[in-house]
Amino acid sequence: MQIPYEVEARPDTGLYNAKLGIWLFLASEVMLFGGLFSAYIFLRIGAEPGLWPHQILELGPAFANTMVLIISSVTMVMGWASAKLGEYKKFKIFTGITVLCALAFVGIKSYEYHGDFNRYGVILADKTQVTGELVKDKTNDRQITLIPDAKQSTELGREYLKKQGEGAEKSGEEQELAFDRKDVVWFSNFVPSYSTFFSVYFTMTGLHALHVIGGAVVIFYLWGPGSRMYFTDRKHFVNRLEVAGLFWHFVELVWIFLFPVLYLL
């Protein structure tokens, strides 16, 4: 038994089955990320004034990741086109680059997460938030000591730092700030439970990273063991590449939305 239109397009719809399938799947993915983005909007609108951070995350790695994904999208198309034109070697090179880009993305993302886990913040009873590097030997069960970041991400944090700076003598050393544990309502490194912003950030980028890994596995399979089909049933194989590519572009598109929303706004 052969399922019709597995490889050839059905004349009246102009689609082969898998292409329709992936578009439907992507529609549901849009709704999945749509749910998360609307959660972001909902939580941000409902956040207490002055508490939602602006540009608390480092821009460098995220910008690099954006570039990496854009390049990988281009090479994905090139790989598909090469396979379609019958240029096997070029297909191997381009698709290989796509997989490497995916790995690079996951690597950079992990580095970024690692950096986040090493930054700390305190939130005081009046919702003032100060972030910075933890001074471990001056932090105990009575006080918390931070070297505050020069650029604070909230209005209240900037004001607090300014006030502290006016009182203190300017010295060559980096300024250290000690907080009494009694005044502090929240203290931790940047983990999902730190604040609603970081909840959103880790959940969305984490889910996106899982998509990147999933896509990379599929593309790697098509680059490696799956590419045997190129010689036995090329049309089918090119279709598979196209479907994988559609998914890959979607994953990239999600990042194009995530980047400004989480890093710039």
Partner 1 sequence: MNANVEKALETHGEGHHEHGHDHHELSFWRKYVFSTDHKMIGIQYGITALLFLLFGFSLMGLMRWQLAYPDTTIPFFGKILTAVLGEHMAPKGVMSADLYNSFGAMHGTIMVFLGIVPLGFAAFGNFVMPLQVGAPDMAFPRLNMASYWSYLAGGIVMLISFVVPGGAAKSGWTSYPPLAGIADVGPNIHIIFNGQTLWIIGMVLLISSSLLGSVNVIATVVQLRAKGMTWMRLPFFVWAQFVTAFLLLLAFPPLEAAGVMQLMDRVAGTSFFMPSGLVVNGQGWHGSGGGSPLLWQHLFWFLGHPEVYVMILPGLGIVAEVLANNARKPLWGYRSMVWAVLVLGFLSFLVWAHHMYLTGMDTKVSAFFQTTTIIISVPSVIILTCLIISLYGGSIRFNTPMLFAIAFLPMFGIGGLTGIPLAFNATDVPLHDTYYIIGHFHYVVAPGTLFALFAGVYFWYPKATGRMMSEFWGHVHFWPTFILMNCIFMPMFLQGFAGVHRRWYSGGIVNGDALFEVTQHVLHWNTFMSWASWLLAVAQIPFILNFFLAWKYGHKSGDNPWHATTLDWQTPTPPPHGNFTVQPEVYRGPYEYSVPGYPEDYLPQDKKLDQKEAK
Chain residues binding partner 1 by CB under 8 A are 1-7, 10, 13, 15, 17-18, 20-21, 24-25, 27-29, 31-36, 38-39, 42-43, 46-48, 51, 123, 186, 191-196, 198-200, 202-203, 207, 232-233, 236
* DSSP 8-state secondary structure symbol assigned to residue 137: G
Least distance CB 226 / partner 1 (angstroms): 13
Q: Which residue has the tokens 């009873």?
A: 125
Which CB atom, from 200 or from 251, has the smaller least distance to partner 1? 200
Which CB atom, from 160 or from 194, has the smaller least distance to partner 1? 194
| Assigned token pair, 188 | 């931790």
Task: State the Cα–Cα distance between residues 226 and 240, nearest whole angstrom.
Answer: 10
Which CB atom, from 97 or from 242, has the smaller least distance to partner 1? 242
Q: Kind of pairing, strands 129-134 and 184-189?
A: unpaired
Element spanning 189, H or E: strand 184-189
Least distance CB 222 / partner 1 (angstroms): 15
Task: State the Cα–Cα distance between residues 28 and 211, nearest whole angstrom.
Answer: 14
Q: Which residue has the tokens 């009046």?
A: 126
- Residues contacting 115, CB < 8 A, separation 6+: 58, 61
DSSP 45-103: HHSPTTTS-SS-S-HHHHHHHHHHHHHHHHHHHHHHHHHHHT-HHHHHHHHHHHHHHHH
Least distance CB 216 / partner 1 (angstroms): 20
**Beta-carbon neighbour count of residue 257 at 10 Å?**
13
First to last CA, the chain: 54
